[in-house]
Amino acid sequence: VPYKLEKRRTLEHGELVLAVAVSSFMRLAFTCARGGVKVWSLTGQKARDRFPVSHIPVQTPRAYLRTCLLFPDSTALLTGGSNLACVSLWDLAASQLHVTAQLPCEGLSCQALAASPQDSLAFAGFTNGALRIWDLRDEHVVRCGQGHLPDKRGNGTRSVVVKGPNVWVGGLDTCLRCWDLRMAFRPREYQFESQIMSLAHSPNEDWVLLGMANGQQWLQHTSRSESLMVADDHDAILSLKFSPYGQWWVSVGLDNLITIYSTLTRKKLFQVPETCVMCCDVALNSRLIVTGSRDNASVYQVTY
């Protein structure tokens, strides 16, 4: 497990960062804001970087992004948002960034994405509570479902994760839902006391981790009704990520801290101060953590 985080780089996006992703294989970081996604090189020793190597701007009038998702093999990036006709799939392996698939979602506002590249499936959760699944090979809609009831602002679904054949969806109606893709499209439901702001799935255990608006963190077993509260920090948890091998996880939220937990003991290992952190991601080599805070992102090196 890690014992220290060191900030290595600040990426000056220039706009409120809503989502981040990091690829240790390609040595790239991705920052998503309303105006578009910026791609940053992590080579060299720059302490601050204002010049991305690429930029994916939103070109549709009155449209804006809400989220992005990097595929595990770093070959593609999904982007989704509001007033857009589709969720876009970008090819990162080509010499120039370009869209390889447009997944239709006319009239819907996307704020959560997931993918199962081995099954050629993409998933999106929307502010009206809908869940949509596409086949990436021909871009057609495989399934649609109603997930979370939207609140008065319409912010229904907040997070979507895929673990095996199951799709887990969390949102503001305090209910965790699970769809088994092998069966009829009717979800199992698990009721909690607080709004679900973020989800993460354990890579090697049968648990899904929930980050709540009341600051609690819960583990929900994927095949039993068992649930365990593993943290209670009072401030909303906005983003969670397990390390690739599942030995630890990172959480960020309104407590202005980056917190690392041990999966084995389910206890805090240490915390690092960082103000207004909205999102985080962990690299596949377990050596880098990227966080989004205000109008920039921070790249941390993990020391074991």
Compute the chain's Rg from CA coordinates: 18
Relative to beta strand 248-253, strand 237-242 is antiparallel
Render the burial of 216-238: b for 16+ CB within 10 Å, e for the rest: bbbbbebeeeebeebbebeebbb
Averaged pLDDT, 235-245: 97
Which residues are registered as beta bridge partners of 54?
A: 39
Contact of 125 with 169, CB cutoff 8 Å: yes
From the list 104, 68, 67, the residue with the least C-alpha distance to 86 is 104
Per-residue model confidence as pLDDT tens digits over 1-37: 999 999 999 999 999 999 999 999 999 999 999 999 9
pLDDT grade, residue 184 (50/70/90)? Answer: confident
Pairing of strands 4-12, 48-49: parallel
Q: Per CATH, which fold does 62-279 belong to?
A: Methylamine Dehydrogenase; Chain H (2.130.10)
- Asked if residue 11 lies in contact with residue 51, where contact means CB atoms within 8 angstroms, the answer is no
Whole-angstrom distance, CA of residue 289 vs CA of residue 269: 15
Q: For the residues 282-302, what does the mean pLDDT come to?
A: 98
Residue 192, classed as helix, strand or coil, is coil
Contact yes or no for 92/74 (Cβ under 8 A): yes
Closest CA to 28 of 251, 277, 288: 288
CA distance 228 to 209: 10
**Neighbouring C-alpha atoms within 13 Å toward the C-beta of 162:** 23
- The rounded percent of the chain whose pLDDT value lies above 70 is 96
Is pLDDT of 84 > 60?
yes
pLDDT score recorded for residue 95: 84
Domain coordinates of the chain in residue numbers? 62-279
Examine the pLDDT at 155 and tell me if it is beyond 60. Answer: no
Question: Cβ neighbours of residue 153 under 8 Å, at least 6 residues apart?
Answer: 127
